[in-house]
Amino acid sequence: MDQLPETPPPVEMISPPLFERLGRRGFVGSVGGAAGYTLAAGPVMAQTIVTTPAEGLVAGEVSIPAGDRALPGYRARPATGRDWPVVLVCQEIFGLHEYIKDVCRRLAREGYLAVAPDYYVRQGDAAAAPDVGAAAAIAGRKPDDELFRDLDATLAWAGQDGGSAEKVAIIGFCRGGRNVWAYSAQNPRLKAGVAWYGPVAGQASTLTPRVPLDMAADIKCPILGLYGEADTGIPVDSLRQMETRMREAGKRFTLVIYPGAPHGFHADYRPSYRKEAAEAGWRLMLEFLKGNGVS
């Protein structure tokens, strides 16, 4: 499939017997704290299972001017050419570690300029947090308005690094998936967004005044949602609500739910990794980006 239809129907990746057992409303669970982000994924491992070489790429640490300070970041792109399509990569709550850097290199091998800013740097060093709770506390102190400015600054930096100003997308994992939703309701330049198991419900706050369910009418680009049926922190029911609100608002939302997959199923450095679902989701993501003009 080289291109998705202009108005794609919702996609179900649930086998018929399992769908009948789940019912239309799916599981009932709670969304709160860090549960929807990383707790369901288990402890962090020492290294990634997948390691993408940097040969033939320009890849490494970068510094991104962002208002009051420079953001640490990681960028990977092809070594030749220019005007590469740009993909913003939004990290989990665990900071800018090797897994996120490898995701950037994987995208670069597909012809993208992929850049992951460490936008939690003002709140603390998430990569050095001693446990999930400490990492979640750092992420929880990030205001949305500051996040949007940081992502705007990252896009401006990518343009100066040879990236295309017209072919721009955003992807994110866990809390980064939630940030995909939020930024897609903010920036009209985006051509596509891909939310890997990003929570859509939860409790709003002064720092994050809206949850994705409240943003449907403002979403400015097609969204691909990649979720796990066994994610204990993101109930299928909340995804159905998001699907309904996006449809009612006339927005393009392709929802994919992988049977038996837990939260963090793409994170190959954690026990939550599910190779089949991770690889299928990656292929679909690349098709979605290309189908929406980000190639």
Tokens representing 5 are 């239809």
Distance CA 246, CA 258 (A): 20
Q: How far apart are CA 16 and CA 14, in angstroms?
A: 6
pLDDT reported for residue 7: 35
Determine the pLDDT at residue 48: 62
Catalytic residue among 174, 221, 237, 268: 174
Active site residue 266: no
Taking every pair of C-alpha atoms in the chain, what is the biggest distance, in angstroms?
A: 54
118, 144, 231, 268: the active-site residue? 231
pLDDT in tens, the chain (295 residues): 333 333 333 333 333 222 222 332 222 222 233 333 333 334 455 456 789 999 999 999 999 999 999 999 999 999 999 999 999 999 999 999 999 999 999 999 999 999 999 999 999 999 899 999 999 999 999 999 999 999 999 999 999 999 999 999 999 999 999 999 999 999 999 999 999 999 999 999 999 999 999 999 999 999 999 999 999 999 999 999 999 999 999 999 999 999 999 999 999 999 999 999 999 999 999 999 999 999 9
Q: Which residues pair with 37 in a beta bridge?
A: none
The tokens describing 134, both together, are: 């400490």
The predicted structure's pLDDT at residue 50 = 82
Residue with tokens 């939860």: 202
Type of residue found at 145? D
Residues 104, 294: Cα–Cα separation, whole Å = 15
Spot the catalytic one: 118, 263, 266, 268.
263
Contact between 295 and 167 under an 8 Å Cβ cutoff? The reply is yes
Nearest 10 degrees: CA dihedral of 141, 145, 150, 152? 160
The question of whether 90 is a catalytic residue gets the answer no
pLDDT on residue 49: 72
Report yes or no: 144 and 209 within 8 Å, Cβ to Cβ. Answer: yes
How much is the pTM?
0.86
- Give the pLDDT of residue 20: 27
Compute the half-sphere exposure of residue 277: CA atoms within 13 Å on the CB side of its CA: 25
pLDDT in tens, 106-121: 999 999 999 999 999 9
